[in-house]
Amino acid sequence: MASHAVALATGGGAIEVYKGGADCRRRLVEILKENSLPTGLLPFDDGILELGYNKDDGFIWMKQKEKKQHYFSKAKLTVVYEAEVAAYLQPSGMKKIKGVAAKELFLKINAEEFSVDGDPVDGSIHVKTTIGISRVLPASAFQLEV
């Protein structure tokens, strides 16, 4: 599939839509950096089918072929990403997250909010779940591994 970008003008502002793996992945990393978030927080590979972003309100969505699991070894945490993931980005944070859950023992616990305290490389990430559990993790655990 050829990669391409489309800008849609809506009443809520311009929406960027990208189709195809490598361009989606590159733009996702740029968007995370622009919002002072760790670049590996959403570790989608070139299997992203679609990436959409409304810079005005921060709404972002990603579609991939199927759900995937990712193990963040530095955080000792397995995260499940559904085939469709969406959230509202803000400087150093994400809210109203859909499609992201941590696996703890035999449970899947949905993430609701991420916020970065300090630098997105050396600071910490506060994760809030839909059941009220919070956890603080090193932001370095969520950087892209080169």
Residue 65: strand, helix, or coil: coil
Q: What is the number of alpha carbons within 13 Å of residue 12 lying toward its C-beta?
A: 9
Average pLDDT, the chain: 88
| pLDDT tens per residue, range 39-51 | 999 998 878 999 9
User: Hey, what amino acid is at 118?
Assistant: G
Among residues 61, 52, 55, which one has the least CA distance to residue 81? 61
Torsion of Cα atoms, 16 then 17 then 18 then 24, to 10°: 70
| pLDDT tens for each residue of 21-65 | 889 999 999 999 999 999 999 998 878 999 999 999 999 999 999
**Overall domain count for the chain:** 1
What is the span of the domain harbouring residue 23?
A: 4-142
Nearest residue to 41 via CA among 131, 120, 95: 120
Interatomic CA distance for residues 118 and 122, integer angstroms: 7
Strands 93-104 and 107-117: antiparallel
The answer to whether 131 and 109 have CB atoms below 8 angstroms apart is yes
Question: What would the mean pLDDT of 86-97 be, rounded to a whole number?
Answer: 96
Q: Does residue 5 have a pLDDT over 70?
A: no
Please, which pLDDT band fits residue 146 given cuts at 50, 70 and 90?
low
pLDDT of residue 13: 66
Q: Choose between 25 and 145: higher pLDDT.
A: 25
Is 125's pLDDT higher than 90? yes
- Which residue type, as a one-letter code, is found at position 127? V
Alpha helices in 16-124 (DSSP H): 21-34
Rounded average pLDDT over 94-107: 91
Angle at 93 between CA 107 and CA 27, to 5 degrees: 100
CA-nearest of 127, 123, 138, 130 to 108 is 130
pLDDT, position 142: 93
pLDDT interval class at 115 (50, 70, 90): very high
First to last CA, the chain: 26
